[in-house]
Amino acid sequence: MTELPIVRPFLWYDSNALEAAEYYVSVIPDSRIVDVMRQDGAVLLVTFEIGGVLFTAMNGGPGHPHTDAFSISVTCKDQVEVDRIWSALTDGGSEVACGWLKDRFGLSWQVVPKKFYELMSAGTPEQSQRVMQAMMNMVKFDVAALEAAFEG
């Protein structure tokens, strides 16, 4: 097992931690399953890496569902990547708003194009305000619409 960081997110699942981890590593680039710990033959803990961040998922049984109070944010290089990741994560899940979604395991994600951050930090306060207002009216991010808002 690789050296573990001091701090990392820990996710609780009823009984499908390995299924969730395998799904996430199939969707997010540069991801992998690091370790699967079993107890009496059953999966207990799964350590996985998505986008360079280590996570632990545990099969802890019912009673502790995911909430919107925690989400994973994915920065995408372009609209094509936003569309691909959005489509994969909403399959069996649900769209929310402003780039947020809930996957089929109940975990919240925010799928954001890199261009959003670039536009928000470039230009005038009015341009940033228009970009923010455009984003507030979106469900999934639309890079072309953000650029149009920036240009006015």
Shared domain for 53 and 75, answered yes or no, is no
- DSSP state string for 15-52: S-HHHHHHHHHHHSSS-EEEEEEEETTEEEEEEEEETT
Which of 19, 41, 64 is the last residue in one of the domains? Answer: 64
Shared domain for 53 and 92, answered yes or no, is no
Which of 64, 84, 101 is the last residue in one of the domains? Answer: 64
CB 55 within 8 A of CB 25: no
- Cα distance between the two ends of the chain: 52
Shared domain for 57 and 101, answered yes or no, is no
Shared domain for 87 and 30, answered yes or no, is no
63 has pLDDT over 60: yes
* pLDDT one-digit tens code per residue, 94-109: 999 999 999 999 999 9
Average pLDDT over residues 90-97: 98
Q: CATH number for the domain including 1?
A: 3.10.180.10
Shared domain for 8 and 40, answered yes or no, is yes
Shared domain for 15 and 71, answered yes or no, is no
Which of 9, 33, 64 is the last residue in one of the domains? Answer: 64
Q: Is the pTM of this model over 0.95?
A: no
2 has pLDDT over 60: no
If phi over 0 gives left and psi between -120 and 50 gives alpha, with beta otherwise, what is residue 47?
beta
Question: pLDDT at position 142, please?
Answer: 98
5 has pLDDT over 90: no
Shared domain for 90 and 125, answered yes or no, is yes
Question: What 3-state class would DSSP assign to 57?
Answer: strand
Shared domain for 78 and 12, answered yes or no, is no
Give how many domains the chain has, as a whole number.
Answer: 2
Average pLDDT over residues 88-93: 98
* pLDDT one-digit tens code per residue, 14-47: 999 999 999 999 999 999 999 999 999 999 999 9
Residue type, 97: A
Q: How far apart are CA 150 and CA 117, in angstroms?
A: 12
Tell me the residue range of the domain where 9 lies: 1-64
1 has pLDDT over 60: no
Q: What percent of the chain has pLDDT over 90?
A: 94
83 has pLDDT over 60: yes
